């Protein structure tokens, strides 16, 4: 969960500058006639804002514009269930399976696994206990510049995982979760792009009216793919 932050955004219509700081009170910015707007980052949405002839679709995309960057890692959850006749045996089997997975991934350039949860043994029937171990497969995608290269990195790690010497266990592998390490680090860029969209809407209005926008500076991932991670920020304008 992201920490609760309060950020003041000040838009200077004369020069288009944006400043951020952290006061103790909620943030608010009011501005009048929009400054000229130029776009040097990719917009994700149903249309791209233009200054000459904005459409309804492009204006909506501008207000809710999303800032996109390349995914930095893929996370895969692996759940392993083992059974044995007593507590000591089932715990030993869970450790053996977890070690086998980590050993299979050892030496991999971009992937590693770690145990994130180990459930207590549960009795399945009169003679059998079961235990579940949850592992996280962490695949680094940093430096890979194409969808194909990222896909190959994920497949290579899964191939190494499939070579693990695991027997007599039920294994469930999740779909990859694409993510980045630090979404809040992109707060300034995400806010700047969102405010560019608001200014684009203002430029289309006759007469131009002042707008007040509020934001707590909370950055969230709104879309994930091998191509990009799209980020959004809480921004309410009226």
Q: How many CB atoms lie within 10 A of CB 32?
A: 11
CA distances from 166 to 34, 100, 147, 211 (A): 63, 7, 31, 61
Closest CA to 43 of 192, 183, 217, 202: 192
Enter the pTM of the model.
0.65
**pLDDT tens track, the chain, 238 positions:** 444 333 333 332 323 333 333 322 233 332 233 323 222 222 222 222 333 333 333 333 444 456 899 999 999 998 888 888 888 888 888 888 888 888 888 777 888 888 888 777 778 777 788 888 888 999 999 999 999 999 999 999 988 888 876 666 788 889 999 999 999 999 888 888 888 777 766 666 666 666 677 878 888 899 999 999 999 888 877 6
Among the listed residues 73, 77, 76, the one whose alpha carbon sits nearest the alpha carbon of residue 144: 73
Cβ-proximal residues to 143 (8 Å cutoff; 6+ apart), any chain: none
pLDDT at position 202 is 65
Distance (Å) of CA 129 to CA 84, 90, 104, 125, 192: 5, 7, 26, 7, 56
Query: Tokens 């940093």 belong to which residue?
Result: 142
Domains present along the chain, CATH in parentheses: 8-69+182-237 (no CATH), 73-179 (3.30.70.360)
């Amino acid at each position: 969960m992201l920490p609760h932050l309060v950020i003041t955004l000040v838009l200077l219509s004369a020069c288009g500058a944006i400043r951020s700081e952290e006061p103790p009170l909620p943030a608010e910015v009011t501005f009048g006639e929009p400054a000229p707007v130029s776009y040097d980052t990719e917009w994700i949405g149903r249309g791209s804002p233009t200054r000459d002839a904005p459409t309804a679709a492009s204006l909506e995309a501008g207000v809710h514009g999303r800032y996109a960057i390349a995914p930095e890692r893929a996370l895969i959850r692996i759940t392993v269930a083992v059974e044995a006749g007593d507590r000591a045996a089932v715990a030993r089997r869970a450790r053996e399976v977890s070690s086998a997975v980590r050993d299979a991934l050892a030496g991999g350039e971009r992937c590693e696994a770690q145990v994130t949860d180990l459930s207590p043994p549960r009795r399945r029937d009169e003679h059998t206990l079961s235990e579940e171990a949850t592992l996280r497969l962490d695949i680094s995608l940093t430096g890979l510049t194409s969808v194909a290269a990222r896909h190959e990195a994920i497949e290579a790690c899964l191939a190494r995982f499939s070579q693990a010497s695991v027997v007599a266990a039920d294994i469930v592998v999740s779909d990859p979760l694409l993510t980045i390490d630090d979404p809040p680090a992109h707060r300034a860029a995400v806010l700047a792009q969102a405010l560019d969209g608001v200014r684009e809407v203002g430029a289309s209005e006759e007469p131009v009216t002042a707008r007040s926008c509020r934001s707590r500076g909370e950055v969230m991932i709104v879309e994930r793919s091998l191509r990009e991670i799209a980020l959004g920020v809480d921004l309410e304008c009226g």
